[in-house]
Structure 1
Amino acid sequence: MDDMSSANLTRRETAARSATFNVHQIRVELDLRDATNPQQRGFGTTTTLKFEASATDSWIDFIGESVNRVTVNGVDVPVDYDGARIAVTGLVASNTVVVEATGRYSRSGEGLHRFVDPVDGETYLYTQYEPADSRRVMACFEQPDMKAAYTFIVHAPHDWQVLSNQSVVTTRVTNSGQTVEFAPTLPLSSYITAVAAGPYHRVDSTWTRGEQEVALGVFCRASLARHLEADEIIEVTRQGLDFFTDAFAFAYPWGKYDQIFVPEYNLGAMENPGLVTFTEAYIPRGAATDAQRGGRANTILHEMAHMWFGDLVTMRWWDDLWLKESFADYMGSHASAAATRFTDAWVRFAANRKAWAYQQDQLPTTHPIVADIPDLEAAKLNFDGITYAKGASVLKQLVAFVGEEPFFEGARRYFAAHAYGNTTLDDLLVQLEDVSGRDVRAWSKSWLETSGVTTLWLETDAAGERVLMQSDPRPHRLRVGLYDLIEGRLVLREQIELDIMAERTPVSLPAADLIVLNDDDMSYVKARLDEASVAAAATALSTLAPLPRALVWSSLWNATRDGEMPAATYLDIVRHHAPAEENIGLLSGVLANTAYTIGHFVPVARREAERTAWLAAAEAALDAALPGSDAQLAWARAFAAASAVSDASADRVRAILGGNGPAGLPIDPELRWSLITALATTGNSSEDDIADELRHDDTADGRTAALRALASRPAADVRAAAWDRAWNDESLSNDHLDAIIAGVRAGARRDLIARFDDEYFERIAEVWSVRSIELARRLVIGLFPGTDTTDAVDAWLAENQIAPAALRRLVIEQRDHLARGIRVRAAQ
């Protein structure tokens, strides 16, 4: 348990600490030799910190089992430790502090995570720190502006791979194991240091550019080795290193480039220099669509961009998190489209990634891209759609504003000026302004330092003139696309480029069957379709080119979310055009939005009819899809999901599980578990059926899926047991907790769980205080009750105004999602 108020570091106190400290070297020695013993909760960790100080006392951060000994400049001092901070006194101008402690192995994905593979019984370790969990492994200064050169020494079992940010210098083998020492790093913030250890499968390669040669490594668990698509991962890695080396004119500085895929990972990936970590979800155990591989390539390139934006030059504090994440999100799509075979990256970004930004930016908790982050809890929750997707969207607009070459030249100057240092917003703006000659500061005030999303639409005034209207006015440079419906196809006639700033902008636009207000997706804006354009889209949406098609799908979805388009209209268009959608990235997004629409925006009285109609449509599209195609796989997954809320096709589900599915459909473990869970959720599969499936797939993913299926069975006592376990079983790993929560909510069976609504609001404050923020967040979001009114949540907010700000933010956001659903249903 982490019941320590001192764990939540504030911006003010960390700024004061960095003003009086200058850190040089940190040496970390970890003893992991007993990691394979499940009874061993902790590991030895000894940290030596060398720093200059102008204050005589301060604190060092650490969260673990115990602090056993502290020496200051060679003298033992009393251990003054509150569970999160080690007080140090008697400091002089130049100091060496040694902290001997016991860390705690994690099952939440925070700190040093320990995982035992059920396939072969092997133990795997990896670290994950951002924003502030390196203190769970080593004593440190847990703030990004106190960089140091780190040296890691790891004691581990004989046959393990041992990895860190730098290459191995020495390996010494003894009877008790091996001791591996790594070369010192260049100056790093604590949150991007990393260690991984275990019998990982390894694939080696190299990347060469001129005289520079970089060793490449790709790692995964041994039991997943046959599924690892190492060749494609290495190809994308080489393409990215080529691209960024040219674009940034700064050679890759971190020595080797290892990429490791790890189990039970909380994120998509993390940019630890020299040892990038990824979720194992990027290693499909069966069939995968090209969109999934494109998403993996995007993530590889996103993390690679961080080698410069974030690792080489790091934000001073989490207010400027965007300085790394917005840029990396932009660069992931840009480099994918420019340097790899995934040339549709911006298409997927327009339809799917920006949807995340639009949703987050309409919440009452929205914030500027350059945010006010007073403490670490706020920082943890700011890894959101604003920082990532909105930031990338407005950077795309900035590139259009200043020009691509000036943008990259500004980045090059930024890296040259601040390499291995820390920066704020102004440090980048001055470079971009100098090189482009544009008023970048005014652009920043409009886009980086404000919140909210503009809505754009066309009106016709009393004189018959067209007027372009925008809510929450901002400066936009955009293109308006005019499309004609010719012989059943929508064909681009022309694009008109505009600069708009005011709430009302008169425009001279010829009539057209379809008018796309933000064609080419140059700006960050919710663009509405007029009535005639909706009719044209309903007739011939699937005939558009991919990018305008993505933008129309996005417009239709946003109008549905905002209650301006009836859910039935959106669902009719989906049923008509989704089966013809050729871009698998767009199709996947549309299928997810359709399921959400039925569950949240369709009035209750019509919901069962829409569920049945959607199940039939998904089954028909599955049967009509090209055998072995990505579309067939996507429709099979949609059919499985739809079968979990309607049992009209239970016999067909059983037939597919029995091997009588459509020709060419790969019935891989993921799809099998989706179908098994659908049957369990609708009461058509027993505990014995689930156990039998687990015997055939007794893997980590199989065990997680079985937990979900068991908790999904539609019996009051089953859901009650799952509810109790989610709150009270602290042995659950992060993935297993997710599975239990998904089971509680399965099938949208409010009748089985509504009795727990009051208990939810009684529990959340306590769980926030005693569980790690990662696990507490899952409980607060995942078990939020889907009531018919906001009365209960409003009462909790009124009674808990002094609850932690991060907790209140989560509850406020869930209330807004609930209120939106109620509002949109009422508008029908």
Structure 2
Amino acid sequence: MDSKNLTRSEAARRARLVSDVSYRLELDLSRAQDPDRPHFGSRTTVSFSCASPGESTFLDFLHGGVDSVELNGTRLDADAVVGEHRVRLPDLRERNTAVVSGRGLYSTSGEGLHRFVDPADGETYLYTQYEPADARRVFANFEQPDLKAVYEVAITAPDDWHVASNGAVARVDDNGDGTATWHFRRTEPMSTYITAVLAGPYHYVTDRWTGTTADGRTLGIDLGASCRKSLAKDFDADRILDVTKSGLDLFHRLFQYPYPWGKYDQAFVPEYNLGAMENPGLVTFTERYVFTSRATAAQHEGRANTLLHEMAHMWFGDLVTMEWWDDLWLKESFADYMGSLATERATELGQPWVTFANRRKAWAYVQDQLPTTHPIVADIPDVEAARQNFDGITYAKGASVLKQLAAYVGEDAFFTAARRYFAAHAFGNTTLDDFLAVLAEASGRDMREWSAAWLETAGVADLRVLLETDDDGLVTSAVLEQQSVDPVTGREVLRPHMLRVGTWDLVDGRLERTGSHAVELTGASVPVPELAGRPRPALVLPNDEDLTYGKVVFDDVSLATVLDRVGELGEPLAAATAWAALWNMVRDAKLPATAFADAVVRFAPTATEVGVLQLLLEQATSALEHYAPASARDGAVSALTTGVLDLLGRAEAGSDHQVALARAFARLARHGGEAATVEALLDADRSGRSPIAGLEVDEQLRWALLQAGAASGRVAQDELDEALGTAPSAVATVGHATATAARPVPEVKAAAWRSVLTGRTAEGRPLSNDVLSATAEGFRIGSPGLTADYYGEYWPALAGIWGSMSNGQASRIIQGLFPLAQDIDDVLQCPARPGEDGTPRLGLEDGSAARAARSHPVVQRAHEWLAEHGDAPAALRRLLVEQTHTLERTLTAQAVAASISEPSAEIV
């Protein structure tokens, strides 16, 4: 009865019993600035109806102590009803009022009420983050999405602070002792996980939006944007609020339902676990969106996308909320899709669908090929499972499928359905069937069949065009086919696709598009008659315009064309689709990492969108670090570093491309190359005379260069400490942690390992999430010889880490220290032969590459741990399964890539 892990069945029973809920929440944050005070006062008054008087139920509360519990005017025995995670309410009446007074605990993990002390000025900042079930860390409540309630909130805090919650401020009472109490207006019904509190000396900017509702009424919304005081000089609130206003214009036109939450505040907060959270009336964002260094156009586009993603949630997710976490995907997928669509239509920032194809879909394809993949509509038996499902399936695959759905039913029908959905279910809870019902009504299509194929199966299809030609080179047959097996069930899956097939040919020595043909694929294959009777195209691109979700598989001629001329694909979405296919080939061990990196360097100058350039440089670096065999890695990284430096020297002075190339160079320089250039750039930072015209060494680049210098042993600890002391900030604190742990000194690595493994500093203070992850990153930088001996301690510590820490912190430690950087050379003595014609033949005979990967000692140890801990928490096992699979994939690719240049293969 005192489980921390609320189950779906428990929530369903409680929902049948409890209804008509309202809360009065009183928080005392007046002593938050005292670092020795770990807790705050929390008093909850909850009123509710009971369907079966005489029954019992419980409130959820992860607390630091409960002083009293009253139920219907009677004080209960706290020892009898209060557990570590729940408060039992016995012998209920038809109408009940419970009052729980106690203490919540401040968090440094971003779960519940997070407390942050700004290194720049010593000020204390608070904010909350609750999804999926951490409101119970702050106040006693019914922590499940379908028990919506109205809230009256009162917060006591230092009187010179900015304090906010979901509702607007009704009044502020001066307590005469340096504190004040803020009283907020009663909210509309909402779920517990989207309630919010913000408190601290935040810098706050206000504005107002005025628009017209669908019925012609004028609607006004007060807007606010806040950040830490020390970031105020960098806070471009005017640009943020301009995007906000444009988004409100667009969503009111599309949804035709007036914004329901009164005011609209947006707070940018430190050490945030997520990108953002859709709390009604008080959206919270990572303060990484406050650009303290030069921000590229891609960064501004990315921020706008997130702003608009969260705004879409005000309707889809907040106004209408899923009944249980099984349908988490629907609100997140819808918002993810709307973020890109709204960025395209409400702003002039970049090409969001190109970014979507490059980044979001890449995330989905990776997640969908893990052993832990699942259908978009997942089975979520409890809140611990819900935590693990904030993944690439829930967000990116779901959004990709909704983009395909809009193509399938037509955009008009899609938004007509959304309007009906909001109108019919406002302030209520729904399931997938409710959304499918309005879609079927609006489109006239059978959505159950579509849902079964797309939402209730897992895996990604391979999409290819099969061509046959005659002796004259004319196409006699062209067939688009899909191949897909659900990895969960092992059964074939044939999904309906509305897509386009594009063709390109060489015209006057340049690659030009010669056609783009609409195709509806409902079975295993469908003819593409438009290609018949014409000369074989130099390139055939399935999924031109990126309308559907599927991995593009090139025929041999098309692959050769792409590798030779991908930079000539003038259509940005086509280029994004082609690059995504090449990246998938690297991960699938069908293209050497070195070939991919070479293509990136050759064609980087043609990437006109800086976001595309940034992604390609990231992927090329990652490809060499993880997928290239050790025998080829150093030379390939050196070549890529030299290539990027050459491009940097030729980039337009002061351009976004120059910034992107400089940051990519700094990451590559962690491997020890071009040390003289790193030192010259750091010297330029001090002298103001850069060896690269127009390049400013700002805070972000400075710390990236210091990390590179530290990793090579050329920047000493006192220099890192001096840099932090000269310009203290949250960015500098994180950069300093990474640089310190990156130093190639055994004692440094030992200290970093211990700090991450325990989640504490050497003095015993808890590490914040950001510093913990930064330290783990620094530990991983450098020679494996400096770190390999520590991993024997990793496996025995896993269960203890998971059992003693919050899920968020434990996940960071387990992922951050997993021994992912391994070499196939440890088990593969000599790789296999190339093809007879001298071209790469990727794929060792009889699956020996995969066998080599599985025989690696670290992979074997991981599998042993999983076999020995079958009863470990599912969330912990999932982390280990995913990390192990990722390691096996990289080792397999290394083994296959090594087969290109060596004469034989043997596993030893």
Q: TM-score, normalised by structure 2?
A: 0.89
Match of 1:206 among 190, 205, 208: 208
Instruction: Return the alpha-carbon distance in structure 1 between the equivalents of residues 522 and 748 of structure 2.
Output: 57
* Residues 1:395 and 2:402 aligned together: yes
Match of 1:468 among 480, 483, 493: 480
Instruction: Return the alpha-carbon distance in structure 1 between the equivalents of residues 601 and 800 of structure 2.
Output: 45
Match of 2:286 in 1: 279
Q: Which SS does the other structure have where 2:781 is aligned?
A: helix
Instruction: Return the alpha-carbon distance in structure 1 between the equivalents of residues 134 and 272 of structure 2.
Output: 14
Letter in 1 for 2:560: A
* Residues 1:664 and 2:694 aligned together: yes
- TM-superposed CA distance for 1:458, in Å, is 2.8
- TM-superposed CA distance for 1:39, in Å, is 1.1
Letter in 1 for 2:303: R
- TM-superposed CA distance for 1:461, in Å, is 6.1
Instruction: Return the alpha-carbon distance in structure 1 between the equivalents of residues 819 and 139 of structure 2.
Output: 39
* Residues 1:184 and 2:186 aligned together: yes
Task: Tell me whether 460-469 or 522-531 shows the greater mean CA deviation.
Answer: 460-469
- TM-superposed CA distance for 1:396, in Å, is 0.5
Note the alpha carbon deviations across 1:692-712, whole angstroms, 9 max, x for none: 211222112212211111111
Match of 1:19 in 2: 16
Note the alpha carbon deviations across 1:643-698, whole angstroms, 9 max, x for none: 001x2311110101111331111211110000000110111111111112112221
Match of 2:704 among 674, 680, 683: 674
* Residues 1:458 and 2:459 aligned together: no
Contact in 2 for aligned 1:461/1:467 (Cα 8 Å):
no
Write the mapping of 1:224-623 to structure 2, written as runs, cut at 5 A.
224-342=231-349, 344-460=351-467, 465-472=477-484, 473-508=494-529, 509=531, 510=534, 511-543=536-568, 544-623=570-649
Contact in 2 for aligned 1:669/1:697 (Cα 8 Å):
no
Structure 2 CA distance for partners of 1:258 and 1:794, relative to 1, 3 Å: same
Q: Which SS does the other structure have where 1:26 is aligned?
A: strand
Note the alpha carbon deviations across 1:424-451, whole angstroms, 9 max, x for none: 0000000010111011111111111111
* Residues 1:716 and 2:750 aligned together: no
Task: Tell me whether 574-583 or 140-149 shows the greater mean CA deviation.
Answer: 574-583
Instruction: Return the alpha-carbon distance in structure 2 between the equivalents of residues 367 and 459 of structure 1.
Output: 30
Contact in 1 for aligned 2:29/2:41 (Cα 8 Å):
yes
Match of 1:809 among 878, 893, 900: 878
Contact in 2 for aligned 1:30/1:44 (Cα 8 Å):
yes
Contact in 2 for aligned 1:488/1:540 (Cα 8 Å):
no
Match of 2:838 in 1: none
Task: Tell me whether 673-682 or 501-510 shows the greater mean CA deviation.
Answer: 501-510
Letter in 2 for 1:78: D
Match of 2:767 in 1: 732
Instruction: Return the alpha-carbon distance in structure 1 between the equivalents of residues 410 and 627 of structure 2.
Output: 41
Contact in 2 for aligned 1:406/1:436 (Cα 8 Å):
yes
- TM-superposed CA distance for 1:5, in Å, is 7.4
- TM-superposed CA distance for 1:58, in Å, is 1.4
Q: Which SS does the other structure have where 1:264 is aligned?
A: coil
Match of 2:892 in 1: 823
Q: CA RMSD in A?
A: 1.4
Letter in 2 for 1:632: Q
Letter in 1 for 2:734: T
Instruction: Return the alpha-carbon distance in structure 2 between the equivalents of residues 577 and 63 of structure 1.
Output: 54
Contact in 2 for aligned 1:485/1:536 (Cα 8 Å):
no
Instruction: Return the alpha-carbon distance in structure 2 between the equivalents of residues 813 and 467 of structure 1.
Output: 35
Task: Tell me whether 200-209 or 571-580 shows the greater mean CA deviation.
Answer: 571-580
Match of 2:3 among 6, 10, 18: 6
Q: Which SS does the other structure have where 1:321 is aligned?
A: helix
Match of 2:487 in 1: none
Match of 1:71 in 2: 70
Instruction: Return the alpha-carbon distance in structure 2 between the equivalents of residues 187 and 515 of structure 1.
Output: 52
Instruction: Return the alpha-carbon distance in structure 2 between the equivalents of residues 102 and 125 of structure 1.
Output: 16
Task: Tell me whether 707-716 or 261-270 shows the greater mean CA deviation.
Answer: 707-716
Q: Which SS does the other structure have where 1:810 is aligned?
A: helix
Q: Which runs of 5+ in 2 are unaligned?
A: 213-217, 471-475, 485-493, 685-689, 761-765, 824-855, 898-908
Q: Which SS does the other structure have where 2:24 is aligned?
A: strand
Match of 2:162 in 1: 161
Instruction: Return the alpha-carbon distance in structure 2 between the equivalents of residues 28 and 374 of structure 1.
Output: 29
- TM-superposed CA distance for 1:564, in Å, is 1.5
Letter in 1 for 2:705: L
Contact in 2 for aligned 1:563/1:827 (Cα 8 Å):
yes
Instruction: Return the alpha-carbon distance in structure 1 between the equivalents of residues 337 and 367 of structure 2.
Output: 18
Q: Which runs of 5+ in 1 are unaligned?
A: none
Instruction: Return the alpha-carbon distance in structure 2 between the equivalents of residues 676 and 66 of structure 1.
Output: 45
- TM-superposed CA distance for 1:462, in Å, is 10
- TM-superposed CA distance for 1:566, in Å, is 2.2
Instruction: Return the alpha-carbon distance in structure 2 between the equivalents of residues 254 and 718 of structure 1.
Output: 51
Letter in 2 for 1:459: L
Contact in 1 for aligned 2:594/2:624 (Cα 8 Å):
no
Write the mapping of 1:681-692 to structure 2, written as runs, cut at 5 A.
681-692=711-722
Instruction: Return the alpha-carbon distance in structure 2 between the equivalents of residues 818 and 540 of structure 1.
Output: 32
Match of 1:194 in 2: 196
Equivalenced residue count is 823
Match of 1:111 in 2: 112
Instruction: Return the alpha-carbon distance in structure 2 between the equivalents of residues 457 and 712 of structure 1.
Output: 44
Task: Tell me whether 812-821 or 754-763 shows the greater mean CA deviation.
Answer: 754-763
- TM-superposed CA distance for 1:104, in Å, is 0.6
Percent of counterpart pairs with the same letter?
49
Contact in 2 for aligned 1:365/1:812 (Cα 8 Å):
yes
Instruction: Return the alpha-carbon distance in structure 1 between the equivalents of residues 296 and 666 of structure 2.
Output: 16
Letter in 2 for 1:108: S
Letter in 2 for 1:712: A
Q: Which SS does the other structure have where 2:260 is aligned?
A: coil
Instruction: Return the alpha-carbon distance in structure 1 between the equivalents of residues 152 and 2 of structure 2.
Output: 30
Match of 1:746 in 2: 781
Letter in 1 for 2:205: V
Contact in 2 for aligned 1:483/1:514 (Cα 8 Å):
yes
Contact in 1 for aligned 2:301/2:350 (Cα 8 Å):
no
- TM-superposed CA distance for 1:536, in Å, is 2.1
Note the alpha carbon deviations across 1:481-527, whole angstroms, 9 max, x for none: 11112234321111111111333434332421111111011110101
Contact in 2 for aligned 1:320/1:370 (Cα 8 Å):
yes
Q: Which SS does the other structure have where 2:518 is aligned?
A: strand
Instruction: Return the alpha-carbon distance in structure 1 between the equivalents of residues 673 and 442 of structure 2.
Output: 63
Match of 1:695 among 711, 718, 725: 725
Match of 1:766 among 800, 809, 823: 800
Structure 2 CA distance for partners of 1:819 and 1:329, relative to 1, 3 Å: same
Contact in 2 for aligned 1:8/1:377 (Cα 8 Å):
yes
Task: Tell me whether 725-734 or 142-151 shows the greater mean CA deviation.
Answer: 725-734
Contact in 1 for aligned 2:18/2:48 (Cα 8 Å):
yes
Contact in 2 for aligned 1:352/1:586 (Cα 8 Å):
no
Letter in 2 for 1:356: W
- TM-superposed CA distance for 1:81, in Å, is 2.1
* Residues 1:784 and 2:825 aligned together: no
Instruction: Return the alpha-carbon distance in structure 2 between the equivalents of residues 766 and 275 of structure 1.
Output: 36
Match of 1:638 in 2: 664
Match of 1:141 in 2: 142
Q: Which SS does the other structure have where 2:132 is aligned?
A: coil
